[in-house]
Structure 1
Amino acid sequence: MPVIKATDAEFAELLEQNEKVVVKYYADWCGNCRLFSPKYKRMAVAMQEQGIKFLDVNAETSPEARKLANVTNLPFFAVFRNGELLETVAASKEEAVAALISRLN
């Protein structure tokens, strides 16, 4: 499963269980979020062998996960290593998200 839908209930556990995690925060009403979804799934499949977990988090229904990354805009991306927030970006450009993900290496 390349992209895991996560809620507040399992978010902390997923961060603990996986060394490298990329999170896309979205909302159902966000057009740019929907447009970026296929690109995000493609990135997840392409990086599956690198041990990076890709999560989708609804920013409206998961306030704890949203606060953890200080989400300011949507779509919003965050990378975590060993449960610690490394960096974030609010963007809908694939290059910006790829640059963010490269911080995990």
Structure 2
Amino acid sequence: MAVIVATDNDFNEVLNSNKKVVVKYFADWCGNCRLFSPKFKRMSDDEAFAEVTFVDVNAETSPEARKVANVTNLPFFAVFRDGQLVDSVAASKEEAIRELIHKLDA
């Protein structure tokens, strides 16, 4: 599945119209964010995550979306179930993000 790019304008709509969502907060200047992008795309294509919606949010241009997850560092990942924040992590290791996504099934 493609990674959806969301902004402050449509962020809440994306959260509320998808049951399980993982959001990657990034910035254009963030090297680790750029390095993680292909992994995030690959994860979005993984059959294990077929029920999860993957979303990219530019943390610099979408401050309201950033506040929803209390973003502290970049890259920053947050998972939402039924529009509600479940958990988040500031990390750039794929295993940490996979563990975060699995919390949506708990």
The answer as to whether partners of 2:15 and 2:83 remain within 8 angstroms in 1 is yes
- The alignment partner of 1:42 has SS state of helix
Aligned length: 105
Asked whether 1:22 is paired with 2:37, we answer no
Matched with 1:42 is: 42
Off by >4 Å, runs of 4+ in structure 1 = none
1:49 shift after superposition: 6.2
Matched with 2:98 is: 98
Query: What is the Cα-based RMSD across aligned positions, in Å?
Result: 1.2
**1:1-105, aligned counterparts within 5 Å?**
1-47=1-47, 50-105=50-105
**2-structure distance, mates of 1:31, 1:45:** 23
TM-score between both structures, scaled by the size of structure 1:
0.96
Q: Which consecutive unaligned segments of at least 5 residues does structure 1 have?
A: none
**1-structure distance, mates of 2:8, 2:73:** 19
Q: Deviations for 1:5-60, whole angstroms, at most 9, x for unmatched residues?
A: 10010000011100100000000000000000000000001147632100000000
The change in CA–CA distance for 1:48 and 1:13 in structure 2 (over 3 A counts) is farther
Percent identity over paired residues:
68
TM-score between both structures, scaled by the size of structure 2:
0.95
- The alignment partner of 2:85 has SS state of strand
